[in-house]
Amino acid sequence: MRILLLGPQGSGKGTQAQRISSTYGVPHIATGDMLRAAMAAGTEVGHRVKPIYDAGGLVPDDLMIDLIRDRLSHPDAEDGFVLDGFPRTLEQAEALDDVLLEIGSPLDVVFDLQIDEQTCIERLLGRAREEGRSDDTPEAIATRLQLFRDATLPVIEHYRAQGKVVGVHAAGTVNEVFNEIQEALEQVGAR
Ligand code: ADP
C-alpha cells in the first residue's frame, strides 16, 4: 500500500503516519525527520538546510527530490510506504509521480487532512512548549502555514485530478482520525 498524507502543519500527519506504519507494517517516510537527522548528524545536507529549516522556508526542490528518490529505492519501501512531508510543491509532486512510474508502483491513496488553521496554530504552539523544535517559533509557524497555502494546496488539486484524494476530518482525536483513515483504507483495498 502506497499512501501519501497531505495537510497543513499541525494537522497530525506525523502522528497518523506512525499509526499507519505500525498497523500496516509499511515504513513511515517523513522528509522533516530525515532533515532533522541530517542536521543532528552535521552532514553537508544538514548544514545546507539548517537556516532554511529554522526560518520555516522550503528546502530547494532538487535537494528534496534527490533525497526522496534515494529513500524510495531502499528495499523496505518496495512493498509500500506512508509518505509524510513530501511532496510539498507541484514540482516535487511531478517528480514523485515520475519516480513511482519508473518503478511501476503509483500511489494508492492520498489523504487530505482537513483542519482549521487556528487549531493548527494552537497545536504547534503546544508542541513548541513540549519539544522545543527550532522551527516552532510564531514567525516560522506563520511562514510554514503560508507556504502550505501557496505551494502545497496545488499539490492536493494535482492528486484530486488523478482521483486519488480522500478527505479526512483532522480536528478530532488521534483515534477518531485514525478510524476514518482505516475505513478509507479498507475501501481502497477492496476496490
Ligand atoms: P511541518 O509539516 O510541521 O512543517 P516537517 O517536519 O514535515 O514539519 O518539516 C519541517 C521543515 O522541513 C519544513 O518547514 C521545511 O523547511 C523542511 N521540509 C520538509 N519536507 C520538505 C519538502 N518536501 N520540501 C521542502 N522543504 C521540506
48 is catalytic: no
Number of separate domains in the chain: 1
Q: How far apart, in whole angstroms, are the C-alpha atoms of residue 29 and residue 86?
A: 9
The sign one gets for the Cα dihedral 40, 42, 45, 50 is positive
pLDDT of residue 190: 59
Find cell 488521534 and name the residue.
174
- Which CATH number fits the domain that encloses residue 35? 3.40.50.300
Taking only Cα atoms into account, the Rg of the chain, rounded to an integer number of angstroms, comes to 16
Known catalytic membership, residue 69 = no
> Which of 11, 176, 181 has its CA nearest to residue 110?
181
Q: How far is CA 83 from CA 128, 139, 178, in A?
A: 23, 26, 16
Atom of ligand 1 nearest to the CA of 56: 14
pLDDT of residue 129: 86
Domain assignment of residue 93, given as a range: 2-188
Please state, for a pLDDT cut of 90, what percent of the chain lies above it: 92
Q: How far is ligand 1, taken at its centre, from the CA of residue 159, in Å?
A: 19
Binding-site residues, ligand 1, Cβ < 6 A: 9, 31-32, 35, 52-53, 56-59, 64, 85-86, 88, 92, 135, 144
Which atom of ligand 1 is nearest to 140's Cα? 14
pLDDT in tens, 98-116: 999 998 899 999 999 999 9
* pLDDT per position as a tens digit, 55-97: 999 999 999 999 999 999 999 999 999 999 999 999 999 999 9
